[in-house]
Amino acid sequence: MKPTQVALAILAASLALGAAAQTTVFKWTDKEGKVHFSDTLPDADVNASQKTMGGGDSGNANLPYATQMAMQRSPVTLYSSADCGDSCASGRDLLEKRGVPYTERDPLKSAADQDALKKAAGALFVPVLMVGDNMLKGYQEDQWNEALDSAGYPRTRLPGTGSMRRAPASNEAAAK
């Protein structure tokens, strides 16, 4: 196997394993015209190019590709509150059981979340599930499952994964 093929095979294997750490790879051609790839800086007398790879969202690294694509196309947001009761708890449980990555927002604690909920649902009402642009008021397991299925989310959670709840990126994102 040629050195470039070995380097590409190693790169492909690390990507397939979900390597999310940033790595710097150097590419250079030696005096004999052979191309080399390495994670160490080559000799000073060669012309080398540098590429930084990886560094994606490490929280998504262990998720199946289909789930990552569903997250990009139809992100899931659960609007709930502490005094919502069984409906919010059941909704959370369903998302966790299915292994659906979601952001939970409390419109009673944040003005930005309150505004975003009013814009999406027309009123302050919890629970509300947003699957992309699809808005579902109240917890109804069949409707929630149908919306999640249509978006391409998994039916069951991968063994060994932690909570699927994600922290909101920022208050500005909530207002959009």
Total domains present in the chain: 2
> In this model, does residue 174 exceed pLDDT 50?
no
pLDDT value of residue 159: 77
151 & 128 share domain: yes
Domain containing residue 130: CATH number: 3.40.30.10
Distances in Å between the alpha carbon of 77 and those of 62, 105, 126, 134, 150?
20, 7, 12, 10, 16
158 & 106 share domain: yes
pLDDT value of residue 37: 80
10 & 74 share domain: no
21 & 45 share domain: yes
What is the rounded distance in angstroms from the CA atom of residue 145 to the CA atom of residue 148?
5
Q: What is the per-residue pLDDT across 20-55, written as a single tens digit (0 to 9) for each?
A: 445 677 787 878 888 888 777 676 666 666 665 554
Higher pLDDT, 153 or 166: 153
pLDDT value of residue 176: 45
Q: What is the per-residue pLDDT across 87-142, written as a single tens digit (0 to 9) for each?
A: 999 999 999 999 999 999 999 999 999 999 999 999 999 999 999 999 999 999 99
37 & 102 share domain: no
Distances in Å between the alpha carbon of 127 and those of 64, 80, 101, 139?
27, 5, 17, 6
> In this model, does residue 69 exceed pLDDT 60?
yes
The parent domain of residue 108 ranges over: 60-175
65 & 18 share domain: no
Q: Which of 16, 38, 56 represents a domain boundary (last residue)?
A: 56
29 & 43 share domain: yes
28 & 103 share domain: no
74 & 138 share domain: yes
